[in-house]
Structure 1
Amino acid sequence: MAFYNRIGSMLNQSILQHSGSSMTNAIRCMSTKLFVGGLSFGTDDGSLRDAFASFGEVIDARVITDRETGRSRGFGFVNFADDEAATTAMSSMDGQDLNGRAIRVSVANDRPPAPRGGGYGGGGFSGGGGYNGSRSNDGY
């Protein structure tokens, strides 16, 4: 995934430097996944999909929920089949009302995977105490 991010960044810089194009044109070459923030708690996956379906084929629409309560966290993601549909949807829907709330729409940034627990140094049991691991004070 990092490879694709790097390619997207290079395309973005190249487009902006050589053609003088706007950021929207650079985004057109980068991603089909959009971040949607400011969602009302009543918005579910289906209503999010329906709100964006008029712009093109929606592959996936997901409202992110809290693991413990199952309640919406107020944001979600919409993934389009092609980048042009995603760009059109982003420019058209950003700031619009969805279920009584003004939503924010932008290109989704890939989040690096969270470090996993366990292994060496991850559990707090590595190393001795404050005495260099020696159990006696006689120099041995």
Structure 2
Amino acid sequence: MSIYVGNLSYQVTEESVADIFSEYGTVKRVQLPVDRESGRLRGFGFVEMSSEAEEMAAIDALDGAEWMGRDLKVNKAKPREERPASGGGNSWGNRGGGGGGGGNRRNDRRY
């Protein structure tokens, strides 16, 4: 399992996050997602530690703690929810689709 860390400063690094969490056990991995378009950190991350006991100790100590001018949000990471394929759709399984309809609009006169 892993730990979710929210409300991170945009100046953090994987190393600085690992340093803070290493006070509570062995940090196996730190992941800081970046925005695809801007390449900027997204303000949250994930930390994996060696044991559940270490994870709980870090969560208990760091949730709500102030770090780099921000109050951290630290809890157990929840599994990522499946998202439908991009493009939307409707209950008939169609994607997109035209609008249509309307008519009898004052400024929509066709001769």
TM-score by length of structure 2 reads 0.73
Runs of 4+ in 1 over 3 A off after TM superposition: 120-125
| CA 1:51–1:116: 2 relative to 1, 3 Å | same
How far did residue 64 of structure 1 move?
Answer: 1.9
The alignment's C-alpha RMSD in Å is 2.1
- Return the TM-score normalized by structure 1: 0.59
Which of the residues 14, 17, 37 maps onto 1:68?
Answer: 37
Tell me, in whole angstroms, the C-alpha distance in 1 between the residues paired with 2:15 and 2:44.
Answer: 14
Question: Could you say what secondary structure the match of 2:32 adopts?
Answer: strand
Q: Which residue, 33, 44, 53 being the options, matches 1:84? A: 53
State the match for 2:16 in structure 1: 47
Gaps spanning 5+ residues in structure 1: where?
1-31, 131-140
TM-aligned CA deviation for residue 122 of structure 1: 5.5
> How many aligned residue pairs are there?
95
The residue identity in structure 2 corresponding to 1:96 is A
**Which has a greater percent of helix?**
1
- The AA in structure 1 aligned to 2:31 is R
What are the ranges of 5 or more consecutive residues in structure 2 without an aligned counterpart? Answer: 102-111
The percentage of aligned residue pairs carrying the same residue is 36
What does residue range 104-119 of structure 1 map to in structure 2 within 5 Å?
A: 104-117=73-86
String of CA shifts for 1:6-33, please: whole Å, max 9, x gaps: xxxxxxxxxxxxxxxxxxxxxxxxxx31
| Alpha-carbon separation, structure 2, partners of 1:37 and 1:62 | 12
- Partner of residue 124, structure 1: 96
